[in-house]
Amino acid sequence: MLIIAFKLLITPLMIGTVTMAGRRWGSVVSGLLIGLPLTSGPISFILACEYGVDFAAQSAIGGMAGQISICMFCLTYAHVAQRFHWPISIVLAVAAFLLSTTALNRFTWQLLPAFFSLLCCIVVVSRLIPLRPVQSKVSAPPRWDLPARIFTATTFVVVLTTLADALGPQLSGLLAPFPVFGIVFAAFTHSQQGAKVTSNLLRGIVVSSVGYATFFIVVGSFLTELGIALTYLMAAILAVSVSGMYYFISRKLKQ
């Protein structure tokens, strides 16, 4: 019963927080928050509670490799959006994610290779998505904006955690980063604020994937030894800290 309540409450809380942060501080900060494991982190926690720490630790390896597919999603969307509207951008970006996931699932991933592959991918893709200068533009979102975001993300978390046992740990991990938040936020940002702002949002997702990698290297390394509570607390704190430091250091280097 507690797990069901967690599934239904944690995602609305996170997506609501990111939405408010994006409206307050802009698309780059919003992208940085979305790049953290906002869906895959809760999914990993739920898998540990429902299927055991060994299953969740193995899934964490797939989750780390799966973030490479998120980088491919962001790269595709950022470039396609400069020429096409959001529906075409979403279709092509999701196709890039699925193609990447299919290719990644052909390998049997180990923790450190997945970690370093993701870091290399982050460096390359962040350079291929330039930070675009934009003018500040505030527009009132429609009333259904936030409820639609919450419903979409929560549905995905519930469905994937329900099917995880049938999918197995690696494929569950690879699919856990599916860009639910990315699709929702990119589409709304693209339609309301334009392609350049959306590109900055997506670049933020890629940059903050360093925090994502930190989260899952901790989970994959320590979950079976330290247990659920301590591991996920430590992973969350380190992920936010590393993502923030990486962001501010990269900004300083560009000045």
Burial of 136 (0-12, 13-18, 19+ CB in 10 A): exposed
Q: What is the pLDDT of residues 117-159, one digit of tens each?
A: 999 999 999 999 987 776 655 555 566 666 766 777 677 777 7
Q: 55-64, 155-164, 198-207, 245-254: which has the highest mean pLDDT?
A: 55-64
Structure token pair of residue 150? 């919450």
Give the model's confidence band at 6: pLDDT under 50 very low, under 70 low, under 90 confident, else very high: low
pLDDT at 8: 59
The CA angle 193-197-203, to the nearest 5 degrees, is 150
Chain-centroid distance, C-alpha 105? 18
d(CA 54, CA 166): 16
Report whether 154 contacts 11 (CB < 8 A): yes
Report whether 47 contacts 55 (CB < 8 A): yes
Q: How many CA atoms lie within 13 A of 155 on its CB side?
A: 9
pLDDT at 139: 56
- Higher pLDDT among residues 21 and 64, named by residue: 64
pLDDT at 200: 87
Give the Å distances, CA to CA, from 55 to 15, 157, 207, 219, 242.
26, 17, 28, 11, 26
Which of these ranges, 29-38, 84-93, 106-115, has the smallest mean pLDDT? 29-38
Task: Give me the mean pLDDT over the 1-21 stretch.
Answer: 64
pTM above 0.85? no
pLDDT at 87 over 80: yes
Q: What is the pLDDT of residues 46-55, one digit of tens each?
A: 889 888 999 9
